[in-house]
Structure 1
Amino acid sequence: MAVHNDLGRKGEALAKAHLEAQGYEVIDENWVFGKAEVDLIAYKDRVIIFIEVKARTGTGFGQPEDFVDARKQKLLVQAADEYIYLMNHQGDVRFDIISVLFDRNSNYKLNHIEDAFWPSGI
């Protein structure tokens, strides 16, 4: 497995542990619809939260969350629409980003950005 895939999996595991420690119920991981993959789907207070996890080892090209661009957001929204339909969810939804920034010693800083973006149409 490529190093960037290992980093991504490590970031997702840390994000999941963070969410569970905060009282979220993680109900799905790496859910795929079409060309989109939602890293984590969680539930808390009757809200389904779609979470994109971004892990990086440096900020030379920007913060990890900066890589959730308009194209990625559109794919996430399409996947979320399908998930909401399949689950017949009638409540609120939210889109979060969890960024994990690792240093050279494998220490990390986790940043959970709630309501990171709000798409039209949902």
Structure 2
Amino acid sequence: MSMLHPYHSSVCARYFYLPASKERNAEVIEVLNSDSDVVEVPMREEDVELRAFYERPLSEDELIRYRGTQTWKLFYSWEELQQDHIKLNLPEHVLQQLLQFKSLYELQEEMAA
């Protein structure tokens, strides 16, 4: 269920999934000002190439805050990603579309207190 859209410009945010390994937990990587639907993630053993599973245009706030600079954000839980999107005041429908991938891309969810 890929939700890629034709935002092939520098004003796009793309999301990539890096599965867990013996040494680390799985993570979602959000790349702001992404210019490709593929990223190379440097790893100790061997670099990994990932394909985006979701993309969206940047918000006005993100355009101002990140000013065309490619920025990577790493999320180790869906809750963490959700809180970041709420903090940045991104549209609710974007967050709901992203959360549809929760069952496909498992992350280490935080334990309830």
TM-score, L = length of structure 2:
0.31
**Larger fraction in strand:** 1
TM-score, L = length of structure 1:
0.30
Higher RCO, 1 vs 2 (CA within 8 Å, ≥6 residues apart): 2
